[in-house]
C-alpha cells in the first residue's frame, strides 16, 4: 500500500514537472549585464572609524541602487594623505578592525565591495585593494607601481608587489590569513574582474592590460589622483583608451573632499567606461559623497573580443608569461536586475550636435576620398548617376560634386540622369531637376515607360499586374540605361544604395543593386538623413543658387522614402511607402547595429529595442519588424555576396570582401524561432 502511494506521488510530481517545463518561457532573461558602482565616500584623514562608517553607508546605498560590484578609492579606510602616520601601529591596528566591520556588512548586504586600505605583512606595508564578498571571502590585491616623484612619495611608506611577488602569497588581517597577490581574476558567472591601483594605469604596460588578455572583462582602479590644470581631460582619455584597448569595462574611483589640502586638492572622480566610451561620470569638486552607477554589458564585450583577432593574438605573448589564478564566486543575480542603462535609438549617429557635425564632415571626407581615388586609378573624368529626387541619390550626387571639385574637374563631367517611370511623382522629379541644375552638372532625362512597356510585351507580362516583375523591370531598365550611358561617355556608374537597404535586400538584383562604385554602401538610412542635412546647413544661402540647393535638400529630407515603382495616387502623390512595406528604418538600423556590431541575437535586440523605443512603438510592432528583419537579412544575403566596391565609413559594414562573410544559403530558422517566442 505504501509502495502504491509512493508511485502515485512520483507520477503526479512528474506530470507537474512536465507542465512546468511546457509553461516555462524559452526566451532568456539574462542579457549579460552587471550593475557596478564607483563611490567617493565622505572621508576624514586618519579617522578610520568614521571612514568605515561612511564606507558602509555608501555601500548600502549602492546596493539599494542594485549595484552588484561597488568600488571605493585608494586607501579609503584611512585617507590617502596620512603621510608618516602610515607607519603608526595604532592606525594600522584600527584598519584591520575596520576591514572586518566592512566585510561583515558585505556578508549581510550581498554583492562585492572593493575597498582601499594599508595592510602589513612580514615587515612590509602594502597599499592594497581588499575584495570582500557576500560568502565571507576576502582577497587582497597590492599595488604594483608606486610613484616616487614630485608630490607623491609612496615608496617612503609602501612596498611594491614587484619586490615580494611570489614570496608572500597570504596576508594577515586580525590573525586570519587571506590570499594575497596581483595574479587573481575574480569570476562570478559572466563577470571576470581584475584590479589595479592608481599609478598602475599610468605605466607603459598596465597590469589591467595583462589581466584583460587573461580573461578579465571588468577592470577596477582604486585611485587617489590630485587635480592639476589639464590633468582631468588626460585622465578621462586614458580611461577611455584603456577600456578600449582591453575591450573591457573600467571602473575608476578616486578620492575627493576630505583628503588633506596641505599641498594637493582631490576633486573626486567616479568614472565608469566601456570599450572606449564613458558611460557614467560623477561630478567633481563635490563636498558631499558621490556615486556613479551603471549597467555594463559583458555579453557585448565578450562578443567583441571573440571577433578581434589582435586581442586573441596578444594572448600568445602574455598568458604564457603571466599566470592568473581564477577565484570563483557564486554567480551574481543578473536576471532580476532592471536595466537602467540608457539605450540609444540611433546607434549610428552621435547624440551631441557638435559631435554630429564633425562626424558628418569626417564621413563625407571618407566617401569623397574613396571616390576620388577610384576615379584617379581608372583615369575616369565622367560619372553617371541616376537621380530620383530621393535621399540616397541626392547624397551620392553631393559626394560626386565634392569629389569633382577637389579633383579640379568640370562638374559637367557628372551626368545626372533622371528616368521618370510609372510611379514618378512631380515632387521628386522637380527636386531632381532643380538640384542638378543648381549644382551645374549635365542633366539628362530619359523616360522609361515606352521601353518597359516593350519589355512587358516581349516577356508577355500584363502591365496591369503591378507585381514584382512590374517593379523590377523598371529598376533593371534604369540600370541598363546608366551602364550603357557610362560606356558612351567613358565614365562609370556611381551607386546610390545604402547600408539599410543592403541589410534588408531592398534592391532589385542586377538593378539598383549594381554599379561600378557605391559611395553609400556603408551609410545607414538614419545617418544618410543627417549627412544630407549637413550639406543643406553648409550651403551659402547669400546667393540664389545656394538658396535653391538648400531648399531642395530640405524638401528631399521631407519626402517620404519610396522606390516609386508603382503608380502614384489620384492626387499624384507617392503611393508606395517603403517603411509601410518593410518597416521603419530607425528600427531596422537599430536591429542591424546590435546584430552586427555586438553579435546580439533577437532576444537581446528585442529587449533593448523595447527600452530604446518605449512610447514610440509597442511590443507587437517591434516584434513584427524584428521578425521581418531577421527573415530578410538571411534570405537576401545573395545580393550582398556580389556587391560593388565602396568605402567603409563606420564599424558596421556588409562588404562580402571583409566585414560580413556569410553563405547565401544559411538557415534563418534559429533566429526566426527566437522571434516567434518573444513575449508581447
Active-site amino acid positions: 74, 143, 198
Q: What angle do CA 381, 387, 388 make, to 5 degrees?
A: 170
Residues 6+ apart with CB under 8 A from 74: 80, 116, 127, 129, 143, 197, 198, 222, 223, 224, 254, 255
d(CA 388, CA 569): 18
Hey, which residues does 201 pair with through a beta bridge?
Answer: none
Task: Indicate the helix (H) or strand (E) that contains 33.
Answer: strand 33-40
Hey, which residues does 127 pair with through a beta bridge?
Answer: 118
Hey, which residues does 346 pair with through a beta bridge?
Answer: none
Query: Pseudo-torsion of CA 172, 178, 181, 184, nearest 10°?
Result: -170
Residue 121: half-sphere exposure toward Cβ, Cα within 13 Å: 28
Pairing state of beta strands 383-386 and 414-418? parallel
Exposure string for 58-80, b = 16+ CB within 10 A, e = fewer: bbebbbeebbbbbbbbbbbbbbb
Strand arrangement, sheet containing 277-281: 277-281, 269-274, 249-254, 218-223, 191-197, 184-188, 325-328
Q: Taking Cα atoms as reference points, which of 200, 129, 134 lies closest to residue 162?
A: 200
d(CA 366, CA 521): 12
Residue 107: CB atoms within 10 A of its CB come to 14
d(CA 108, CA 446): 78
H, E, C per residue of 290-349: EEEEEEEEHHHHHHHHHHCHHHHHHHHHHHHHCCCEEEECCCCCCCCCCCCCCCCCCCCC
Burial class (CB in 10 A: 0-12, 13-18, 19+), 333: middle
d(CA 158, CA 5): 71
Sign of CA dihedral 362, 629, 469, 556: negative
Contact (CB, 8 A) for 422 and 394: no
- Angle between helix axes 669-676 and 602-612 (nearest 10 degrees) is 50
Q: Taking Cα atoms as reference points, which of 522, 553, 627 lies closest to residue 583?
A: 627
Hey, which residues does 259 pair with through a beta bridge?
Answer: 257
Torsion angles phi and psi, residue 128, rounded to 5: -120, 155
Amino acid at each position: 500500500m505504501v509502495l502504491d502511494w509512493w508511485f502515485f506521488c512520483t507520477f503526479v510530481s512528474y506530470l507537474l514537472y512536465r507542465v512546468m517545463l511546457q509553461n516555462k518561457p524559452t526566451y532568456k532573461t539574462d542579457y549579460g549585464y552587471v550593475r557596478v558602482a564607483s563611490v567617493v565616500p565622505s572621508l576624514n584623514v586618519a579617522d578610520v572609524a568614521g571612514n568605515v562608517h561612511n564606507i558602509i553607508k555608501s555601500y548600502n546605498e549602492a546596493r539599494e541602487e542594485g549595484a552588484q560590484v561597488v568600488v571605493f578609492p585608494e586607501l579609503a579606510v584611512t585617507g590617502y594623505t596620512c603621510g608618516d602616520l602610515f607607519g603608526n601601529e595604532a592606525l594600522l591596528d584600527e584598519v584591520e578592525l575596520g576591514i572586518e566591520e566592512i566585510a561583515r556588512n558585505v556578508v549581510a548586504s550581498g554583492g562585492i565591495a572593493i575597498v582601499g586600505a594599508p595592510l602589513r605583512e612580514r615587515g612590509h606595508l602594502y597599499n592594497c585593494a581588499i575584495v570582500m564578498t557576500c560568502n565571507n571571502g576576502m582577497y587582497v590585491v597590492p599595488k604594483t607601481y608606486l610613484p616616487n616623484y614630485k608630490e607623491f612619495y609612496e615608496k617612503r611608506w609602501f612596498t611594491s608587489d614587484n619586490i615580494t611577488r611570489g614570496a608572500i602569497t597570504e596576508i594577515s588581517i586580525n590573525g586570519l590569513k587571506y590570499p594575497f597577490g596581483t595574479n587573481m581574476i575574480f569570476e562570478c558567472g559572466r563577470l571576470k574582474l581584475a584590479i589595479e591601483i592608481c599609478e598602475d594605469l599610468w605605466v607603459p604596460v598596465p597590469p589591467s592590460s595583462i589581466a584583460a588578455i587573461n580573461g578579465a572583462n571588468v577592470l577596477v582602479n582604486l585611485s587617489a589622483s590630485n587635480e592639476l590644470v589639464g590633468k582631468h581631460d588626460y585622465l578621462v582619455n586614458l580611461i577611455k583608451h584603456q577600456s578600449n584597448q582591453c575591450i573591457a569595462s573600467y571602473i575608476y574611483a578616486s578620492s575627493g573632499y576630505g583628503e588633506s589640502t596641505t599641498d594637493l586638492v582631490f576633486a573626486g572622480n567616479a568614472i565608469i567606461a566601456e570599450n572606449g566610451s564613458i558611460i557614467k561620470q560623477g561630478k567633481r569638486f563635490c563636498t558631499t559623497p558621490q556615486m556613479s552607477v551603471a549597467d555594463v554589458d559583458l555579453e557585448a564585450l565578450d562578443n567583441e573580443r571573440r571577433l578581434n583577432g589582435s586581442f586573441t593574438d596578444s594572448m600568445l605573448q602574455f598568458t604564457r608569461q603571466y599566470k592568473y589564478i581564477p577565484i570563483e564566486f557564486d554567480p551574481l543575480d543578473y536576471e532580476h536586475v532592471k536595466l537602467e542603462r540608457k539605450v540609444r535609438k540611433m546607434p549610428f549617429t552621435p547624440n551631441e550636435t557638435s559631435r554630429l557635425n564633425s562626424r558628418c564632415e569626417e564621413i563625407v571626407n571618407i566617401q569623397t576620398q574613396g571616390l576620388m581615388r577610384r576615379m584617379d586609378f581608372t583615369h575616369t573624368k565622367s560619372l553617371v548617376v541616376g537621380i530620383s529626387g530621393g535621399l540616397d541619390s541626392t547624397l551620392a550626387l553631393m559626394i560626386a560634386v565634392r569629389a569633382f571639385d577637389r579633383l579640379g574637374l568640370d562638374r559637367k563631367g557628372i551626368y545626372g540622369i533622371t528616368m521618370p517611370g510609372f510611379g514618378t511623382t512631380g515632387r521628386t522629379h522637380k527636386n531632381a531637376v532643380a538640384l542638378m541644375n543648381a549644382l551645374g552638372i549635365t542633366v539628362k532625362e530619359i523616360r522609361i515607360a515606352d521601353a518597359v512597356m516593350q519589355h512587358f510585351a516581349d516577356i508577355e507580362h500584363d502591365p496591369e499586374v503591378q507585381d514584382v516583375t512590374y517593379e523590377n523591370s523598371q529598376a533593371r531598365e534604369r540600370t541598363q540605361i546608366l551602364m550603357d550611358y557610362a560606356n558612351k561617355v567613358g565614365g562609370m556608374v556611381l551607386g546610390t544604395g545604402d547600408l539599410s537597404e543592403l541589410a534588408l535586400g531592398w534592391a532589385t538584383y542586377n538593378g539598383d543593386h549594381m554599379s561600378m562604385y557605391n559611395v553609400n554602401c556603408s551609410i545607414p538610412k538614419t545617418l544618410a538623413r543627417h549627412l544630407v542635412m549637413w550639406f543643406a546647413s553648409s550651403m551659402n544661402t547669400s546667393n540664389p543658387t545656394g538658396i535653391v540647393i538648400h531648399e531642395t535638400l530640405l524638401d528631399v529630407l521631407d519626402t517620404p522614402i519610396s522606390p516609386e515603382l508603382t503608380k502614384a495616387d489620384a492626387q499624384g502623390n507617392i503611393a508606395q511607402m517603403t517603411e509601410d512595406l518593410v518597416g521603419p528604418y530607425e528600427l531596422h538600423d537599430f536591429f542591424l547595429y546590435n546584430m552586427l556590431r555586438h553579435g546580439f541575437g533577437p532576444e537581446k535586440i528585442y529587449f533593448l529595442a523595447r527600452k530604446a523605443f518605449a512610447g514610440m512603438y509597442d511590443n507587437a510592432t517591434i516584434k513584427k519588424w524584428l521578425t521581418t528583419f531577421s527573415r530578410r537579412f538571411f534570405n537576401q544575403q545573395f545580393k550582398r555576396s556580389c556587391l560593388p566596391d565602396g568605402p567603409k565609413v563606420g564599424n558596421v559594414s556588409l562588404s562580402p570582401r571583409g566585414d560580413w562573410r556569410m553563405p547565401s544559403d544559411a538557415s534563418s530558422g534559429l533566429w526566426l524561432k527566437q522571434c516567434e517566442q518573444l513575449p508581447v
